[in-house]
Structure 1
Amino acid sequence: GLFALAVAAVYRRPMPVQPMKAVSALVIVGALGAGQAMATGLILGVLLLALAAAGAIGRLARVLPESVILGIQAGVGLHLALLGARLATEGPLYGLPALAALVLLSITPLRSFAALAVVAAATAVALGTAGAVTWPAPGLHLPVPAWPAWPDYQVAALTAVVPQLALTVTNAVLATAAIAGDYFPADRARLGPGRLAAGTGILNLVLAPLGALPMCHGAGGLVVQHRFGARSWGAPAIFGGLCLVLGLGFGDGARTLLALVPLGAVGALLLVAGAEMAAGRKVLALDGPGRAVALATALTCVLVNVAVGLVVGLILEGARRAWLRRRA
């Protein structure tokens, strides 16, 4: 909640906030404990801030070829669409009607309110058919500041930091900045990769001792928010405010409230937004070899992850340029 409110104030655009994926996966499978996740957030905060201050993030963004950037964007969109399709088909009672409603609303003046209307309607139906619901009791749940022990830093450095840093730099910083620049060209400097990296670093350093999972931005979240009408600071501000109310007011009981939202309806949102992003016209404007590089990059992003997709794309783009030089 605090991260989202800070993002709303600093960027004044619908910049998403989400847990770091690699760290979250390790926590879910039990490979990282609470102290180790906290240590990961602190280490990553220092590294991201240092990379941004040294100008390394900005230099990397400037040398990325267009074919690789477009491939990453298409890969993120395809990944979102596939995830959305899975969620929608696993909960077809909500997913299929939600998908139909989104398609119909997209051709009406209510397009900007489609996501809110569909999620609200699906949640209302779920509540109406769920029978008795055990509501969590409200109260005041304040976080207790804490610091990791030294062994937690060692485990974090050996287990989580390297894979998560690669994902964060590629997806949460470079890809997000590229997409934000396309959506909001007048704010390209304010939404640049160096600022995203520095902001992510600072906020993780501040929030990790309060028990927050390591957090970052994300290209997919930006695509979904923009597709369904978010254009200003209002979206992250509302999201952050709701998170604070749920966390401070209900503590662990917030999970019960969030579970009332049908995942099938959420999947429909991801499917529509992801499909629109994956079908980007800019890829078609590339020459034949450039399109091949973008396609290979996109598929690698989906089949492995964005960091590996970046490496594969750079290798293929280097080979393409070497081939063109030999032909010249």
Structure 2
Amino acid sequence: GKYVPKPVVRGVQLSTGTLLMAEGVRFIIGTSRFQVLKNAAEPYLSLQAFGPIPIGIIIGFVGGLVTLLFLNNRKFPAGLLLIIGGTLIGVLLGKTGILKQVSLSVGFPKVLPFGFPTSADFSYALLILVLPQIPMTIGNAVIANVDLSREYFGEHSKKVTYGASCISMSLANFLSFLLGGMPLCHGAGGLAAHYRFGARTPGSNIIIGSFFVALAILFGKHALGIVYLIPMSVLGILLLFAGSQLGLTILDVEDRKDLFVVLMILGITLATNLAAGFIAGILVAYMLRYEKLSV
């Protein structure tokens, strides 16, 4: 951006990618918070291990191999193969109660299902959720996302601007609020994942969006039963490769000072959070423009 140096953008992208990769590995080996809470590496599979080897590691290894083999295949996209294969594993090895949860329940979302928020709700959300999230949203969902869009799509991404990204997120969150949904934002990680797994046109967003809308309308709360069919380790592979693609954006960083900023943001992010890394990165990047400072 105009006021955010390029190494800061790359640092945010590397940090986000590293966080995604780390979470992906946890999904594969079964140590994510959700898996620990459920006390199972694959909470929705009836089979947890082949001998001494956890089932998640086996699925992760096979899934990783499939991804490497088909990552550049246009006829059989790796991401689609992973989802289909994971779903089949869920059908064959899933716990008996999972499929019973899947049943048609046609319905449409209600407007303000939890009622209109009180002033206390707004105050709590502003202080606890909104303000702490602003630096990360600006860094990853706006600046890094726009930068990656331009890198991937060149002139075709001219409509993807900082302003457009902010407005689209605002509208999406307002609609989500009306329907009782969760907060959401853009993200360089999601863009990297979609692109690397084969998405090249707006049609990919229409396809995946239509799929999720259909799930919600046709199955309602029972749609989770379908999601549960996909093993955690398959999701881990998707996160691992998505994060790696985002991290690889630093390949164009050659200057020593710039690389220092990138790595410093990564270190601070791992020790604290991405928002702190983003803010510190901007400060250090501007400081290092002073010629007498060296690294």
Q: TM bucket by the smaller chain? A: 0.7 to 0.9
**Higher share of residues assigned helix:** 1
Percentage of pairs with the same residue? 26
8 A contact 1:112–1:229 mirrored in 2 = no
Using the alignment, how far apart are the partners of 1:141 and 1:88 within structure 2? Answer: 35
Using the alignment, how far apart are the partners of 1:158 and 1:273 within structure 2? Answer: 31
Structure 1 stretches lacking a partner, 5+ long: 1-60
Using the alignment, how far apart are the partners of 2:16 and 2:8 within structure 1? Answer: 12
Name the TM-score, length of structure 1 as normaliser. Answer: 0.75
Q: Tell me the equivalent position of 2:37.
A: none
8 A contact 1:70–1:282 mirrored in 2 = no
Q: How does 1:139-150 map to 2 (within 5 A)?
A: 139-146=105-112, 147-150=116-119
Residue 84 (structure 1) shift: 1.5
Corresponding letter in the other structure for 1:121: G
Using the alignment, how far apart are the partners of 1:188 and 1:279 within structure 2? Answer: 20
Using the alignment, how far apart are the partners of 1:206 and 1:81 within structure 2? Answer: 31
Deviates more, 1:115-124 or 1:130-139: 130-139
Q: Residues 151, 276 of structure 1: CA spacing in aligned structure 2 closer, same or farther, 3 A cutoff?
A: closer
8 A contact 1:73–1:298 mirrored in 2 = no
Using the alignment, how far apart are the partners of 2:248 and 2:267 within structure 1? Answer: 13
8 A contact 2:105–2:222 mirrored in 1 = no
Using the alignment, how far apart are the partners of 2:260 and 2:75 within structure 1? Answer: 34
Q: Residues 281, 306 of structure 1: CA spacing in aligned structure 2 closer, same or farther, 3 A cutoff?
A: closer
Q: Choose which of 152, 160, 177 in structure 2 pairs with 1:208.
A: 177
Q: Residues 296, 276 of structure 1: CA spacing in aligned structure 2 closer, same or farther, 3 A cutoff?
A: same
C-alpha distance after superposition, 1:61-112 (max 9, x if no partner): 3111111111111112222222212212222132111011111223x64586
Q: Tell me the equivalent position of 1:220.
A: 189
Using the alignment, how far apart are the partners of 1:203 and 1:276 within structure 2? Answer: 26
Structure 2 stretches lacking a partner, 5+ long: 31-55
Give yes or no for the alignment of 1:312 onto 2:280. Answer: yes
C-alpha distance after superposition, 1:26-82 (max 9, x if no partner): xxxxxxxxxxxxxxxxxxxxxxxxxxxxxxxxxxx3111111111111112222222
Using the alignment, how far apart are the partners of 2:76 and 2:88 within structure 1? Answer: 20
Q: Residues 131, 307 of structure 1: CA spacing in aligned structure 2 closer, same or farther, 3 A cutoff?
A: closer
Q: How does 1:276-315 map to 2 (within 5 A)?
A: 276-280=245-249, 282-283=251-252, 285-315=253-283
C-alpha distance after superposition, 1:250-296 (max 9, x if no partner): 2211111111111101111221232233233534x421122111111
How many aligned positions are there? 264
Name the TM-score, length of structure 2 as normaliser. Answer: 0.82
SS of the aligned residue for 2:100 comes to coil
Using the alignment, how far apart are the partners of 1:281 and 1:315 within structure 2? Answer: 19
8 A contact 2:89–2:230 mirrored in 1 = no
Give yes or no for the alignment of 1:267 onto 2:231. Answer: no
Q: Tell me the equivalent position of 2:104.
A: 138
Q: How does 1:93-172 map to 2 (within 5 A)?
A: 93-106=58-71, 109-110=73-74, 113-130=77-94, 132=96, 133-146=99-112, 147-172=116-141
Q: Choose which of 162, 174, 178 in structure 1 pairs with 2:143.
A: 174
